[in-house]
C-alpha cells in the first residue's frame, strides 16, 4: 500500500514538473498595446512593459499599434528605449502608425502590418492649431527618422556575382515621411508627404510581412508552432503616473510650488498656500522618483534649497548669497529630477532631454511669476481674493501709506507677528511691514528703517 502511494506521489511530481517545464519551454511573446496618442501615458506603459517582459524571460516583445501620432518628445524616448532593448521588439500595425507612431515603428526590429494599415506622415505640426511647424523642427524630425532607419544597418546582396550592400531600411524613405521635398519615385513626388500602405511598405523594405492577427505573425513569420502570449495591462496607478509625467502638467505643478511658497511668505500663518505648494511638490517628485528619474539626493537638494530660502528671508536681513544659493538648488533639483541618472551618472543624458527639462521648469517658473503678479493685483479687491488680502480696508488697515517718507524713523508697535511680513501700528493707523532682522513678536516695539515697494521695512526697537 505504501509503495503504491509513493509511486502515485512521484508520478504526480513528474507530471507537475513536466507541465511546468513545457510551459517554460514555449516561446513567450509579451504584448504591449500602443493604441492611443503618443504621450506620457504610452511612455510609461512601454517602460513598464519592457521591464516586465525582461522579468518574465520573454522571447520577444510585440507592440500592438494603432495611433495617429502624438508628442515627439515621448516618441523619441520610446524609440530610444526600443533601440536599447536587449530583447527583439516587433510591431504589428493594426491600422495606423502615423507621425510619432511611424518613428516608434521604424525603431522596432521587424514591422508587420494588416493589409489595410498605413505608416508615415511624420511631419511635425503645432499642438495648437495643427499647422506645420517651422523648418527647424522638421529638420530635427528628419534627422531622427533617418538615424532610426540607419540604426538597423545594411544587408549584403549578391547580384550577378557581385556583393552589394544596401540599407535594410532606406533612410531616404524615412525622411520622405517628414519632408515633401524628398522624392521617392513611384511613391511620392515633391508635393506630398510619404505615407505607405502595407504593400508599398513591403516594396520599400518598411514592412516584413502582412498579417491579419498576432497568431499569424507568431506562426508564419516568427516560426512559433506553439507559444504563450502575455499582455501588459496598465493599472490605475500607471495611468495616473502617466498623467502626472505630462510636461504641461509638470510645468503647472512647478507654477503652484513657486506661487504657494511666495504667498505663504507674504501671508504667514494662513497655511493654504503651503498646502498647495507641498501637494504640488509631492505630485511633481513622486512619479519621477518611482519611475527612477528623481533620485534621493535630488529630492534632498530641493528641500535644502527651500530651507536656504526661508533662512535668508527669516534670519538674514536683505537677500544675498544664502537666498541665491537656495534658488539655484531648487532650480537644479527641479531640472535634474526630469532627466535620468543613477548616482551622479549622466553619461546617458542627451542634450534633448536636458533642453526639455529646462523648458518645462522655465515655463513653470514663468507661469508662477505671472500668477504671482496677477493674484497680487487682485488681492483686496472685490472677488474671491478679498479674504486673503494682507490688509482689509474695512478693518481699518491701509496697504499703502499716504505719506510713506514721513514714516521713516518713526516708532510703532507690531500688531501681528512679523515672519517676516505682518502689520504694524504707527499712531492710530495700521500698515503692511516686513521685518529686516528675524521674527518680531506681536506687541513688540519697532522702528521704521525704510519704505520700498509699497511696504515698510522695520526692525525691533532696541532699548538702552
- The Cα 92–Cα 13 span in angstroms is 40
Question: Model confidence over 287-328: pLDDT tens digits?
Answer: 777 666 677 888 888 889 888 877 776 666 555 678 788 888
pLDDT at 41 exceeding the cut of 80: yes
The three cell numbers locating residue 188? 511620392
pLDDT at 269 exceeding the cut of 70: no
Q: Which residue has the higher pLDDT, 337 or 81?
A: 81
Question: Model confidence over 165-192: pLDDT tens digits?
Answer: 889 999 999 999 999 899 999 888 878 8
Q: What phi and psi, each to the nearest 5 degrees, are found at residue 366?
A: -60, -45
- The Cα 253–Cα 330 span in angstroms is 14
pLDDT band with cut points at 50, 70 and 90 for residue 155? confident
Residue with cell 528703517: 449
The reported pTM is: 0.65
DSSP string of 256-278, one letter each residue: HHHHHHHHHHHSTT--HHHHHHH
Region of poorest pLDDT, from 90-99, 154-163, 265-274, 359-368: 265-274
Q: How far is CA 25 from CA 57, 87, 175, 227, 228, in A?
A: 11, 17, 42, 9, 10
Amino acid at each position: 500500500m505504501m509503495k503504491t502511494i509513493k509511486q502515485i506521489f512521484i508520478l504526480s511530481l513528474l507530471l507537475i514538473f513536466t507541465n511546468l517545464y513545457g510551459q517554460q519551454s514555449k516561446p513567450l511573446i509579451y504584448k504591449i498595446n500602443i493604441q492611443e496618442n503618443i504621450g506620457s501615458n504610452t511612455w510609461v506603459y512601454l517602460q513598464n512593459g519592457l521591464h516586465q517582459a525582461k522579468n518574465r524571460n520573454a522571447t520577444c516583445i510585440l507592440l500592438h499599434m494603432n495611433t495617429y501620432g502624438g508628442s515627439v518628445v515621448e516618441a523619441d524616448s520610446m524609440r530610444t528605449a526600443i533601440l536599447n532593448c536587449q530583447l527583439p521588439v516587433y510591431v504589428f500595425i493594426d491600422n495606423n502608425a502615423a507621425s510619432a507612431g511611424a518613428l516608434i515603428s521604424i525603431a522596432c526590429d521587424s514591422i508587420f502590418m494588416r493589409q489595410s494599415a498605413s505608416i508615415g506622415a511624420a511631419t511635425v505640426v503645432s499642438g495648437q492649431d495643427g499647422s506645420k511647424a517651422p523648418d527647424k523642427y522638421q529638420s530635427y524630425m528628419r534627422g531622427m527618422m533617418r538615424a532610426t532607419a540607419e540604426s538597423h544597418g545594411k544587408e549584403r546582396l549578391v547580384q550577378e556575382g557581385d556583393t552589394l550592400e544596401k540599407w535594410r531600411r532606406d533612410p531616404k524613405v524615412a525622411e520622405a515621411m517628414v519632408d515633401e521635398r524628398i522624392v521617392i519615385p513611384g511613391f511620392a513626388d515633391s508635393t506630398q508627404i510619404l505615407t505607405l500602405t502595407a504593400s508599398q511598405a513591403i516594396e520599400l523594405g518598411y514592412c516584413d510581412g502582412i498579417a491579419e492577427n498576432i497568431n499569424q505573425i507568431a506562426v508564419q513569420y516568427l516560426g512559433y508552432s506553439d507559444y504563450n502570449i502575455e499582455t501588459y495591462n496598465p493599472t490605475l496607478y500607471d495611468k495616473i503616473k502617466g498623467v502626472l509625467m505630462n510636461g504641461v502638467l509638470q510645468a503647472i505643478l512647478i507654477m503652484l510650488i513657486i506661487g504657494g511658497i511666495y504667498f505663504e511668505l507674504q501671508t504667514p500663518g494662513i497655511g493654504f498656500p503651503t498646502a498647495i505648494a507641498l501637494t504640488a511638490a509631492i505630485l511633481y517628485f513622486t512619479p519621477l522618483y518611482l519611475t527612477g528619474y528623481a533620485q534621493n539626493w535630488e529630492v534632498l537638494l530641493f528641500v535644502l534649497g527651500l530651507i536656504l530660502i526661508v533662512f535668508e528671508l527669516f534670519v538674514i536681513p536683505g537677500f544675498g548669497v544664502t537666498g541665491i544659493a537656495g534658488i539655484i538648488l531648487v532650480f537644479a533639483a527641479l531640472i535634474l529630477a526630469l532627466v535620468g541618472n543613477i548616482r551622479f551618472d549622466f553619461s546617458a543624458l542627451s542634450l534633448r532631454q536636458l533642453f526639455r527639462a529646462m523648458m518645462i521648469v522655465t515655463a513653470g517658473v514663468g507661469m508662477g511669476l505671472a500668477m504671482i503678479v496677477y493674484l497680487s493685483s487682485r488681492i483686496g479687491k472685490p472677488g474671491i481674493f478679498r479674504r486673503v488680502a494682507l490688509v482689509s480696508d474695512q478693518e481699518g488697515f491701509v496697504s499703502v501709506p499716504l505719506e510713506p517718507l514721513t514714516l521713516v524713523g518713526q516708532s510703532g508697535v507690531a500688531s501681528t507677528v512679523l515672519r517676516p511680513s505682518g502689520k504694524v501700528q504707527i499712531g492710530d493707523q495700521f500698515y503692511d511691514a516686513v521685518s529686516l532682522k528675524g521674527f518680531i513678536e506681536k506687541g513688540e516695539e519697532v522702528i521704521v528703517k525704510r519704505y520700498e515697494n509699497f511696504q515698510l521695512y522695520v526692525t525691533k526697537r532696541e532699548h538702552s
